[in-house]
Amino acid sequence: MEILTNTDVREAAQIILSKTELRPSIACICGSGMGNLVDILEDSFTIPYADVPNFPVSTVPGHVGQLVFGNYKGKCCVFLQGRTHLYEGYAPNKIVFPVRVLRAIGVDILIITNAAGALNETYKTGDLVIVKDHINIPGFCTCNPLVGITDESMGDRFPAMSDAYDAELRTLARKTATALDIDHHEGVYAALCGPNFETIAEARMFKILGADLVGMSTASEVVAARQIGLRCCVVSLVTNCVTMDYKSQEKASHNEVIEVGQSRASDFQKLISNLIGSVTATSRKNSKSNVYSSNGHMSTFSDLQI
């Protein structure tokens, strides 16, 4: 298994920050069919993932594969236009590498979006769900981004996950959705490996376990983000209602996921943009971006050579 270290994170951070003077405090990962979220940014600047050492490149339709920097209502942001997944063959440590680099370039708040199937029968296609917790199914089988050689500079090896989904940000997201008159819920997300959609028996099991949604991403990103101190807010778009009846003729498809994502783009963009406009990034002693230092502590990026 490929182990990406503190040195790899620092190298990627150097490359990214040498290409732009923008220093974001808020980041957003765009889920399937949600790449147009970047349209809210002013004076945007893009860096392809392929130009950043060790960045995994997305191979899935609906995931462009680039960092988009810009400003929104005076706040500097970076959007990850596309993500990678376990089913693409990447190791968990590789999938969360971009999250660790985000922290290294100074990001404090991470907003994650995804497309998900609804297990909760009160949800309908097109609804938005603010995630309050997750069930990381691959993590039960050692498929966890924290597994492997310990690098203390990456954070606590045994991070608590009881507060993985920031309560303050969840409350703000709910209030924002209500103010915008957008149908929404709060629920639990079950993460699978994929790429196949779940069987009826699996779907029924996840529902018994307490899951409201099911998808193929997000949990590993949140685990890594919490380990390194990022505050997380996750918003899912219900792109299909999961089949749990053997008599049903309904079948899930990736095309449906993309189509629903595009059809709900306007409301999703309104929610994310207003959420970004309302959040307050964690204060710092100085405004310089932070990166992991070679001795395991945080240092300012200006201490590194570009």
Looking at 13, 34, 63, 220, which residue is catalytic? Answer: 63
Residue 253, SS3 per DSSP: coil
Helix, coil or strand: residue 254: helix
Is 303 among the domain residues? no
Running DSSP on this structure, what letter comes out for residue 283? P
Choose the catalytic residue: 25, 88, 185, 236: 88
Q: How far is 147 from 150, CA to CA, in rounded Å?
A: 8
Catalytic position from the list 58, 93, 120, 217? 217
Share of the chain above pLDDT 90, in %: 67
Catalytic residue among 27, 104, 211, 216: 216
Q: Is 34 a catalytic residue?
A: no
Strand pairing partners for 46?
68
pLDDT confidence tier of residue 149, bands split at 50, 70 and 90: confident
Is 230 a domain residue?
yes
236 is an active site residue:
no
> Does 136 participate in catalysis according to the annotation?
no
Q: Is 302 an active-site residue?
A: no
Residue 137's pLDDT band, with cuts at 50, 70 and 90, is: very high
Query: Is 168 known to be catalytic?
Result: no
64-101 tens-digit pLDDT: 889 999 999 999 999 999 899 999 999 999 999 999 99
Asked, for residue 275, whether it belongs to a domain, the answer is yes
Q: Is there a catalytic annotation at residue 217?
A: yes
Which sign does the torsion angle of CA 187, 131, 196, 256 carry? positive
Check if the beta carbon of residue 225 is closer than 8 Å to that of residue 26.
Answer: no
Query: What range defines the domain where residue 158 resides?
Result: 6-295
Q: Do residues 173 and 233 lie in contact, with contact meaning Cβ atoms separated by under 8 Å?
A: yes
pLDDT, tens digit, for every residue of 200-248? 999 999 999 999 999 999 999 999 999 999 999 999 999 889 998 888 7
State the Cα–Cα distance between residues 37 and 239, nearest whole angstrom. Answer: 17
d(Cα 188, Cα 165) in Å, to the nearest integer?
Answer: 10
Is 184 part of a structural domain of the chain? Answer: yes
223 touches 164 (CB < 8 A): yes
pLDDT band at 139 (very low <50, low <70, confident <90, very high): very high
Quick check: 256 pLDDT over 90? no
Residue 54 predicted with pLDDT over 60:
yes
Average pLDDT over every residue of 14-23: 96
Mean pLDDT of the 131-157 span: 89
Q: Which of 13, 115, 118, 203 is catalytic?
A: 115
Strand spans (E) along the chain = 26-30, 42-48, 66-72, 75-81, 109-118, 128-136, 184-191, 213-215, 231-241, 290-292, 298-300
Catalytic residue selected from 44, 54, 87, 299: 87
Most confident by average pLDDT, 146-155, 184-193, 250-259: 184-193
What per-residue confidence (pLDDT) applies to 1? Answer: 59
Indicate whether 53 belongs to any domain. yes
**Residue 54 counted as domain residue:** yes
The pLDDT, as a whole number, for residue 118 is 96
Q: In this structure, what CATH number is given to the domain that contains residue 31?
A: 3.40.50.1580
Q: Which of 6, 58, 240, 290 is catalytic?
A: 240
Q: Look at residue 298 and tell me whether its pLDDT is greater than 80.
A: no
- Omega of the bond prior to 195 within 30 degrees of 0, cis? yes
Higher pLDDT among residues 163 and 252, named by residue: 163
**85 given a catalytic annotation:** yes
Residue 1 lies inside a defined structural domain of this protein: no
Residue 301 falls inside a structural domain: no
If one compares 290 and 266, the residue with the highest pLDDT of the two is 266
Number of domains in the chain: 1
| Residue 284 confidence (pLDDT) | 39
| Residue 134 annotated to the active site | no
Which one of the listed residues 25, 32, 93, 220 is annotated catalytic?
32
Say whether pLDDT at 306 is over 60. no
pLDDT at 3: 75
61: pLDDT strictly greater than 80: no
